[in-house]
Structure 1
Amino acid sequence: MDSASENESDFEVVFDESETDDDDDDDVPVVDRLWTNVRYVENFEYPHEINPFSRHMGPVNPPVNDAPPVDYFHKLTVPDEGRNLIEILVEETNRYANQFLSNPQYNPKPFSRTLKWHDTDVEEMSAYLGLYLSMGIVRKPSIEAYWQGSEQSYLFRTPGFAEVMTRDRFQILSKFLHCNNNLTQMPRGDENYDPSHKFRPILDLLNETFPKAYDLARDLTIDESMVGFKGRNDIVQYVPAKKSHQWGAKLFVLAESDTGYNAAMQLYAGRQGGAARSVHGEGYEVVMQLMEPYLYRYHHLVCDNYFTSPALCSSLFDKDTYMTGTVRVYRKGMPKSLKNLKLQRGESLVKQSGPIMALC
């Protein structure tokens, strides 16, 4: 670097207006920003103070070291008040079974399993969930295969399943398994209609217990997660880019970067009825809602280009939360000059607008 360049400013002031055409954020208000080119990156000093993160990190009152796995399950599914996960399943499963069996149109076949129904309880429902989780470890081609005990299948038997409950009882519990009261669901088109009504109590429960069981570290991330499902429901989405599950329920998940611990989940169900579009876009609203309990703590959030925008970075910075993420150049507020920028290998371009920096 020669003496002439040393005396020059590290910034080149350029005003870029955000374009309003060919943009995926057409309804988002345009915020004109003064972007400056950072000419000498090696000498650049960020003009804002970065506060250190100094909060407790890790499990909160965890079970003892030699505790059985079920203790961790209870830690994450038992709230301070109200029904725990098992109690929800017991109450709602019994409710739905009785509603189903008392329906005047119910006309079972002579040997239907439903004729043997009797209410379940916490102990039996716990056993049922244990078997269901075990099926994720011991894979078989059908539910019936877990109870097969013929001489031809002696190499593949799993006698523990039959010792816990009969196959018919497991299947009737699966038929009536419920998480919420069908009679309280609002009809489609109603302003209070909830596409996730059938499992809303479970989702709300986990969003209450997960944050209380673990204090998140500094670095966080928000991303999409697909729960594979092909049933007939409004929540089913098709995302061809997903390799694990292209069909299913899409969740927005707030997680700790280092461990992947999920602190909060939000279901994506599409725009309902005549709901107005968010002022700053859906990605902005998702992040601000999931991060609301963690603002003003100096966390560092990382997101992909579905969420990142200058408006989001500014809002988080104003709430003592830092953010890094990839971004689409056509986002509102991004420098206009980046839209047709072509860099050669080894070249880079850095722009700054207040606390926000754009690196190409």
Structure 2
Amino acid sequence: ISEMYTFLVTVLLMGIVKKNSLRDYWSTDPMFATPFFATLFSQDRFLILLRCLHFVNNATAILSDPLYKIRIVLISLTSAFGRVFVPYKDLCIDESLMLWKGRLAFRQYIPSKRHRFGVKFFVMCDVKTGYVLDIIVYTGSTTDIKHYEGLGVSGSVVMTMLAPHLGKGHTLYVDNWYSSPTLFQHLLFNCTGACGTVRSNRKGMPAFGCRKMQRGEVEFQENGQQLAVKWHDKRDVHVLSTVHTATMSATG
């Protein structure tokens, strides 16, 4: 057991000390050497443990689960995330892409991301500290989320991840893939504020004027609970909020 703890520590340390390949961590070249790794494991022993690492009994595994090989680890981690930290007021949900070039049925291609190919995660973080509160691995139609009628996939992701934190006065910040008047109203009903960029064609979004706006111009519309903002920079940017008012203030 102690050896496995050391193995996990080594893996975590590799995330801090970046090398081009695993074997570089045991390099004796004076230009690249990091001697500390050799004090933890020999190169051969580490590679054997890495090759043989397995978390599930294949005889009893639920093979229809795309994540059956790591499900027990994923549940253990996400449960621990919530137990050891009480988040501050502001929370954020976004996607993250972990580089993966191997064969995988749910591997994603996202050209806007740094790595482009990999495994997509939905991640909820505490804004003040950056602490990860929850993660959901995207596996397509089998993604582990609870579906909420009228909220679509993006809204269901938000409600699934926020479930333990609803009714506690948090404020959620999201991008335009998640934001919608329907979702924000649902969150407001659960004593949770929300703010984020939003697509102008979302159902329930107010219609702004069609006139051409100058750079820096702003238009507001509100209904007493939600504030919609149209701001023009190089293009129109729409923002939706349940925690702000239609006032401008100087910054910087």
TM-score normalised by structure 1 residue count: 0.57
* Fraction of identical pairs, as percent: 39
Where structure 1 has 5 or more consecutive residues not aligned to the other structure, the ranges are: 1-121, 188-192
Which protein has the bigger helix share?
1
Residues paired across the two proteins, number:
228
Which protein has the bigger strand share?
2
Residues 212 and 341 (structure 1 numbering): CA distance in 2 closer, same or farther, change over 3 Å?
Answer: farther
What is the aligned partner in structure 1 of residue 22 from structure 2? Answer: 143
State which of 219, 228, 235 in structure 2 corresponds to 1:349: 219
What is the aligned partner in structure 1 of residue 236 from structure 2? Answer: none
Deviations 1:19-67 (A, max 9, x none): xxxxxxxxxxxxxxxxxxxxxxxxxxxxxxxxxxxxxxxxxxxxxxxxx
Partner Cα separation in structure 1 for residue 197 and residue 57 of structure 2: 42
Partner Cα separation in structure 2 for residue 341 and residue 178 of structure 1: 61
User: Partner letter of residue 143 of structure 1?
Assistant: L
Partner Cα separation in structure 2 for residue 342 and residue 317 of structure 1: 33
Partner Cα separation in structure 2 for residue 346 and residue 146 of structure 1: 51
Partner Cα separation in structure 2 for residue 285 and residue 133 of structure 1: 32
Partner SS state of residue 221, structure 2: strand
User: Does the alignment pair 1:129 with 2:129?
Assistant: no
| Contact 2:94 2:175 survives alignment (8 Å) | yes
What is the aligned partner in structure 2 of residue 248 from structure 1? Answer: 118
Partner Cα separation in structure 1 for residue 125 and residue 17 of structure 2: 28
| Contact 2:95 2:120 survives alignment (8 Å) | yes
Of 135-144 and 286-295, more deviation after overlay is shown by 135-144
Q: CA deviation at 1:163?
A: 3.8
Residues 169 and 280 (structure 1 numbering): CA distance in 2 closer, same or farther, change over 3 Å?
Answer: same
Q: CA deviation at 1:143?
A: 3.0
Which is greater in Rg?
A: 1
Q: CA deviation at 1:160?
A: 4.0
Partner Cα separation in structure 2 for residue 199 and residue 147 of structure 1: 28
User: Does the alignment pair 1:312 with 2:183?
Assistant: yes
User: Which has the higher relative contact order, 1 or 2, with Cα contacts under 8 A spaced 6 or more apart?
Assistant: 1
Q: CA deviation at 1:224?
A: 0.9
User: Partner letter of residue 227 of structure 1?
Assistant: M
Q: CA deviation at 1:351?
A: 1.7
Partner Cα separation in structure 1 for residue 209 and residue 123 of structure 2: 30
User: Partner letter of residue 255 of structure 1?
Assistant: C
Partner Cα separation in structure 1 for residue 185 and residue 219 of structure 2: 21
Partner SS state of residue 306, structure 1: coil
Partner SS state of residue 179, structure 2: coil
State which of 97, 100, 103 in structure 2 corresponds to 1:226: 97
Residues 174 and 344 (structure 1 numbering): CA distance in 2 closer, same or farther, change over 3 Å?
Answer: same
Q: CA deviation at 1:259?
A: 1.3
TM-score normalised by structure 2 residue count: 0.80
Partner Cα separation in structure 2 for residue 220 and residue 137 of structure 1: 25
What is the aligned partner in structure 2 of residue 301 from structure 1? Answer: 172
Q: CA deviation at 1:166?
A: 2.9
Partner Cα separation in structure 2 for residue 325 and residue 208 of structure 1: 27
Partner Cα separation in structure 1 for residue 225 and residue 132 of structure 2: 29
Partner Cα separation in structure 2 for residue 269 and residue 321 of structure 1: 28
What is the aligned partner in structure 2 of residue 174 from structure 1? Answer: 50
What is the aligned partner in structure 2 of residue 261 from structure 1? Answer: 131
Partner SS state of residue 218, structure 2: coil
Residues 178 and 342 (structure 1 numbering): CA distance in 2 closer, same or farther, change over 3 Å?
Answer: farther
RMSD: 2.6
Partner SS state of residue 214, structure 1: coil
Partner Cα separation in structure 1 for residue 17 and residue 216 of structure 2: 51
Partner Cα separation in structure 2 for residue 269 and residue 302 of structure 1: 24
What is the aligned partner in structure 1 of residue 73 from structure 2? Answer: 202
What is the aligned partner in structure 2 of residue 329 from structure 1? Answer: 200
User: Partner letter of residue 130 of structure 1?
Assistant: V
| Contact 1:222 1:301 survives alignment (8 Å) | yes
User: Partner letter of residue 286 of structure 1?
Assistant: V
